[in-house]
Chain A
Amino acid sequence: MGRPRAVPNSVHETLLKSVMPSGLTVWLNPKKGYCRTVGVLAAHFGSLDHEIQVGHETRRIPDGVAHFLEHKLFEDEEGDVSLRFSERGANSNAGTEFTKTSYHFSCVDRVEDNLETLLRFVLHPYFTDATVRKEQGIIEQEIRMYDDDPDWVSFNSLMQALYHRHPVRINIAGSVESIREITPELLFRCHEFFYHPANLVLAVSGGFDPDAAWDRIERVTAGLSTPAGERHRRQILDEPDSVANPRVERSFAIVRPQVCIGFKDTPLRGSPDEILRREVETQMLIDLLFSSSSPYHRELYESGIIDDSFEAAHSGEPEFAFSIIGGETDDPDRFVASVFEIIRKAIQDGLDEQGVRRIRNRWLGGFVRGFNSAEAIAGALVTAELRAITLDDMLDVMSSASRFRLEERLRNHLQESRSAVCLMRPSAPLK
């Protein structure tokens, strides 16, 4: 509590943290020589959240509410909040993910005023029938824009193939139909439930004065009541280990087939550290098997099965975890068979100790490099805080990743029986 205290770290950064009496957590990262400042305020409320408590009653909320609320908070009695930022030369934006909604600004002047605007607009809801109706039209256009993005469509199709009922299978923006169910009353209720200070994290990084920023944050939030609640906790949902549908195909306006293979991980009811360790080690494993330093990658590349569109990544949260391996290919069946063959071979032969060391080095370098960017730092601080970990925890986990642990992940995670394939075939002839 009280003024922010320095948090030691391994990357020579000034990191200050405080949990305010209201429950709001604040991270400050002043950077010498930087001109810009980035502020991020994030709510632990994302598209996965489908229920709110109203009194003793649990109410289901329509798909896309978190995203709709993100749009609508930018408008209050005085109009468009973005304009207040741009009057000061600041840029503002926001984004909704599965597990959080983030609001951010970047500026070079009047940092404290922008921080005040950020806190005030996110904490102050204002919705009317007319503004909600207008937003439905805008979000409908946004949904349709994403409907034309083959990567996004492929990703969502794969989630629907991997998951039976987990909300990760639902489009973050909802659907044109679901957003029509949204009313001002519903938005007020969701705001009350999810946007209390204990469920929010603020991070500021860049060329600002931490004392002045802190004083303003304290002043703006002084009137907020003591914690109305704790940080929102999501239940691990009852989702079968099996996949919903091992193969989906659709046609799309693209020029070559796109294929992606998803591997569904089992939920982990562990501590934040354990969840982080599993996430980092799984991503390192995926890198070791499928990045361009792998002999398997060379084989696929040189035989023409993959090209630069090839990607392999892991996404691990407490609530869900999956890996995706995909790209464009002329021969989707061979692509899929080759990926499974690589996994079988890797299980049989074991992993390369030197390879693990190299991947660790790459990750360490990438970690340090991230501290060039105020955006990246503010985003990482918010994400880490909402997951109850620190940036140094990430460093510890990547420094201590071992071949043995990666092999354990290889056997337990990359299982064909818990995988699904999404194939997008071109609907149109080549342009």
Chain B
Amino acid sequence: MNSPQDSIGDFRIIRTGGGLEVFLLPTKKLKTRLIRLHFQAPLDGRAGARALVPNILRRGTEGLPGMLEISRQLEEWYGASCGASIYKIADRHVLAFRAEYVEERFLPGSPTIEAPFLRFYKEMMLRPRLIEGCFLQDFFEQERLNHKREIQAQYNDKLRYASQRLVEEMFPGQAYGRPVLGTVEEIDHLSAASATQAWRDFRGENARLYAVGDFAANDLLEFASGLPFLSRGPSLLRQCEKPVSVDHPRLVVEPDDVSQTKLLMGYRVDLTGIDLRAYDALRYCANVLGGGFHSRLFQTVREKNGLAYYASASLDRLQGVLIVSCGIDAAERVRVCDLVEQEIRSLRSALPSIEEFEQARQLLTSGTRSLVDSPHSMVEAVEGVVASGFPRSLEEMVDSLKSMRREDVAEVACRIGPLDTVYCLEGRSLHGST
């Protein structure tokens, strides 16, 4: 954005004197109020340290010295909750500190919750328990161990594990290929001092405060003014470089003790010079290909051929990556790969049928419109539109989706590159030799 905007859709943008942007979505329809404080930083070797910080912050503050005291106080506030989400937007690492509490007027006797809860939230972010300027060694050691175990336990969820392995293979040594929780090696090399530094570094990162609920703008601004964080660039996170082309796809097969084989196929999508229309048309491509029951993958792989329980496609439009995912019998890998490739080829070479195009239109527009009922979805949606470099309201997104033509979809499908990498977490086959 060149000049500061005052709003994006229904979000009002207000700025504190200190330079923190506050995105406020005022609404009376919810029974809760939501605050989210987001910090963006490059996704690099500090991801593990950053991801560890929320776990240490929740361990104790100057006023509430331990997790027990904090949990009890949150119960007093009728189950007000604090938590953190860790994810990536293109090559950026995002920490989102969430705080949610029930509207006082819906509780017996309208107890006072907001003021003391927000005071606590601020204290958790700014005044955790420290000794000589450092996180407590006990808290650090224990949370480091737990965090390391959490990283290792990602293997237990085989689909999630396989998805991470695919992006590691597709983006070796690059930010996008890094796991958002960091690596065991990173965690092993941390100290209480370096973890504390990761927390202090929040002040130099790109921060933004989001609020959804029946807030008064002035009260919110007063709260935000006490937060010493700054909104700074870059706002545009969409990848603009041409992806490296591949001569032939890489195949990575890792045998494992799983009953169902996880097959993932990664494609790069060329986003260079993309305009808004083409950017939205990409959603049609992914939807027609693997966006639900109606999609080609579901119908071909599961319904016609009975080869999978699930078969879907997901698209990261900011990074330019399309991932196809199927749960199959190990013996069917080649067959399923061929079917997927056939569908991608046909997407590139012909117009989608009127029927599938209309279905995609209906699903995409209603999916976009229905975001307004979920406060978290609204926050993530506005965060996404800012990162895309096409800031606009939900209504404008819906209008753009509605105005799409089949030709737009066929045209943009050519931006989907050749098959880049196949990753297969391969289990035993029940249907024949692999």
Contact = CB atoms under 8 A, between A and B. Distances in A.
Interface string B349-381: 000000100110111111101101111000000
Interface string B410-434: 0000000000000000010010000
A33 B27 contact: yes
A10 to B, nearest CB: 9
Interface string B148-168: 011011011110010000000
B314 interface: no
Contacts of A252: 257
Contacts of B77: 361, 365
A430 interface: yes
Nearest to B292: A86
Contact of B257 (A134, A253, A308, A372): A253
Given A145-B327, A293-B71, A86 B309 contact: no
User: What's the interface size class on B, roughly?
Assistant: 35 or more
A383 to B, nearest CB: 19
B156 A150 contact: yes
A34 B372 CA distance: 8
Contact of B76 (A88, A302, A358, A427): A358
Contacts of A373: 373-374
A82 B74 CA distance: 42
Nearest to A109: B366
Nearest to A297: B68
B156 A255 contact: yes
A173 to B, nearest CB: 11
A222 interface: no
Nearest to B309: A141
Contacts of A145: 259-260, 309-310, 327
Contacts of A149: 157
Given A307-B149, A368-B102, A253 B79 contact: no
Contacts of A294: 68
A280 interface: no
A362 B370 contact: no
B169 to A, nearest CB: 14
Contacts of B327: 141, 144-145
A49 interface: no
A80 B362 CA distance: 17
A138 B152 contact: no
A256 B100 CA distance: 33
A255 B306 contact: no
Given A292-B71, A293-B68, A365 B366 contact: no
A308 to B, nearest CB: 6
A206 B108 CA distance: 25
Interface string B96-128: 000011110011100000000000000000000
A60 interface: no
Contact of A148 (B258, B328, B361): B258
Contacts of B27: 33
A45 B153 CA distance: 36
Given A36-B373, A137-B306, A83 B293 contact: yes
A307 B59 CA distance: 13
A172 to B, nearest CB: 15
A369 interface: yes
A138 B302 contact: yes
A35 interface: yes
Contacts of B346: none
Given A254-B156, A369-B31, A35 B259 contact: no
B80 interface: yes
Given A86-B293, A328-B153, A365 B79 contact: yes
A31 interface: yes
B7 interface: no
Nearest to A137: B306
Interface string B383-416: 0000000000000000000000000000000000
A377 B373 CA distance: 13
B366 A107 contact: yes
B31 A372 contact: yes
Contacts of A309: 149, 153
A83 B260 CA distance: 27
B142 A302 contact: yes
B369 to A, nearest CB: 5
Given A33-B28, A361-B78, A369-B32, A308 B150 contact: yes
A295 interface: yes
A140 to B, nearest CB: 8
B432 to A, nearest CB: 14
Contacts of B367: 89, 91
B88 interface: no
A108 interface: yes
B68 A80 contact: no
A364 interface: yes
Contacts of A292: 67-68, 71
A292 to B, nearest CB: 4
Interface in A251-267: 252-256
Given A82-B294, A108-B366, A372 B152 contact: no
B72 A358 contact: yes
B256 interface: yes
B288 to A, nearest CB: 11
Given A134-B306, A358-B76, A298 B66 contact: yes
A142 B309 contact: yes
B363 A86 contact: yes
Given A89-B362, A134-B306, A368 B31 contact: yes
A372 B27 CA distance: 12
A242 interface: no
Interface string B294-308: 100000001100101
Given A86-B363, A254-B156, A369-B102, A364 B107 contact: yes
Nearest to A307: B146
Contact of A144 (B28, B29, B71, B260): B260
Given A83-B359, A109-B362, 11 more contacts: A36-B373, A82-B292, A88-B362, A91-B363, A106-B370, A253-B258, A292-B68, A293-B74, A307-B146, A358-B76, A359-B75
Interface of A: 11-12, 31-36, 80, 82-83, 86-92, 106-109, 134, 137-138, 141-142, 144-145, 147-150, 206-207, 252-256, 291-295, 297-298, 301-302, 304, 307-309, 328, 358-359, 361-366, 368-369, 371-374, 399, 427-428, 430-431
Q: Which 4 A-B pairs have the closest CB atoms?
A: A365-B78, A89-B362, A89-B366, A365-B79
12 contacts: A12-B106, A35-B373, A36-B369, A83-B359, A86-B362, A141-B309, A294-B68, A304-B145, A309-B149, A365-B77, A368-B107, A372-B375
